[in-house]
C-alpha cells in the first residue's frame, strides 16, 4: 500500500513539473455496485444487495508516459439486509487512483487503475435488528463506522477520448460496522462475538470527461 501511495505522489510530482505536457480533464462519474458483506456471526442472516454512486471526477494524464491520476468525490449508497432489516450505508467516497493508459488509436484506449479510497458516513449510522436467532437478548443494534478506508482495483476502456466504461472491486480495509446485543430497555449489554463486518463491492462505472 505504501508503494502504491508513493507511486501516486510521484505521478503528481511529474504532472506538477510538466504542466504543459500534461492533460487535465473534468467530468462526471456514476455507476452501480453490488455489495458483498463479510459477516461471521451465526445469529443474524445476511444477504447482499445493489447500490449506486455518482459525483464529479477529474483526471490528470502524462501522454508520453501513459501514467496518470484520477480522483472523484462520489455520493455512494450501498444496501444490505440483516435478517428483516435493510441497512443503507450512505457515504461520500473519495477515490484517488493511479492509472496506466494504453492508446489503441485515436478513438479507443485501455486503462488500469488502483488506489486508496476514503469514505465518510452520512445519514443514519445505527440500525435495530429484531429477528435474532439467539435468545441472549431481545434485539441487537448494528452501528456503522464514521469513516472507512478501502482500496480500488480495476480496469476499463476509453471511447472517443471522452467516455470511459470501467469495472472495479472495492476492498474494505478494517471493519465497517459492529453488532451489539440490546436488553429489553434498548441498552447495549454485550457485543456479538465475531460480529464485525466488512463491506466490499463490485462496481461498474461510466464517466464522461469534457
CB atoms within 10 A of CB 105: 6
**Does the pLDDT value for residue 43 go beyond 60?**
no
The full DSSP string for the chain is -HHHHHHHHHHHHHHHH-TTT-EEEEEEEEEEEEEEEEE--SSS-EEEEEEEEEEEEEEEEETTTTEEEEEE-EEEEEEEEETTEEEEEEEEEEEEEEEEEEE-SSSEEEEEEEEEEEEEEES--EEEE---S-SS-SEEEEEE-SEEEEEEEEEEEEETTTEEEEEEEEEEES-SEEEEEE-TTS-EEEEPTT--EEEEEEEEEEEEE-
> How far is 51 from 112, CA to CA, in rounded Å?
23
Which percentage of the chain shows pLDDT scores above 70? 70
The sign of the dihedral angle between the CA atoms of 99, 103, 104, 106 is positive
The mean-pLDDT minimum among 23-37, 83-97, 107-121 falls in 83-97
Residue 27: what pLDDT?
A: 97
Residue 11: what pLDDT?
A: 60
Biggest CA–CA distance in the chain, Å, is 67
pLDDT digits (tens, 9 = 90+) for 162-197: 999 999 999 998 777 777 766 555 555 555 554 567
Residue 46: what pLDDT?
A: 56
Higher pLDDT among residues 204 and 84, named by residue: 204
The closest of 106, 97, 120, 94 to 159, measured between CA atoms, is: 106
Amino acid at each position: 500500500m505504501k508503494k502504491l501511495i508513493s507511486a501516486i505522489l510521484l505521478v503528481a510530482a511529474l504532472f506538477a513539473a510538466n504542466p504543459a505536457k500534461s492533460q487535465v480533464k473534468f467530468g462526471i462519474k456514476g455507476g452501480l455496485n453490488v455489495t458483498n458483506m463479510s459477516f461471521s456471526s451465526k445469529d443474524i442472516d445476511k444477504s447482499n444487495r445493489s447500490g449506486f454512486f455518482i459525483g464529479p471526477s477529474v483526471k490528470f494524464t502524462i501522454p508520453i508516459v501513459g501514467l496518470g491520476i484520477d480522483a472523484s468525490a462520489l455520493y455512494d449508497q450501498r444496501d444490505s439486509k440483516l435478517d428483516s432489516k435493510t441497512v443503507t450505508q450512505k457515504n461520500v467516497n473519495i477515490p484517488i487512483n493511479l492509472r496506466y493508459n494504453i492508446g489503441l488509436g485515436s478513438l479507443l484506449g485501455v486503462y488500469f487503475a488502483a488506489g486508496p479510497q476514503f469514505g465518510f458516513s452520512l445519514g443514519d449510522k445505527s440500525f435495530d435488528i429484531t429477528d435474532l436467532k439467539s435468545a441472549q437478548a431481545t434485539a441487537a443494534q448494528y452501528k456503522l463506522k464514521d469513516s472507512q478506508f478501502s482500496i480500488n482495483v480495476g480496469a476499463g476502456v476509453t471511447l472517443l477520448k471522452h467516455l470511459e466504461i470501467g469495472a472495479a472491486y472495492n476492498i474494505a480495509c478494517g471493519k465497517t460496522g459492529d453488532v451489539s446485543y440490546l436488553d429489553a430497555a434498548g441498552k447495549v449489554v454485550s457485543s456479538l462475538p465475531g460480529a464485525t463486518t466488512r463491506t466490499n463491492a463490485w462496481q461498474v462505472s461510466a464517466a464522461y470527461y469534457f
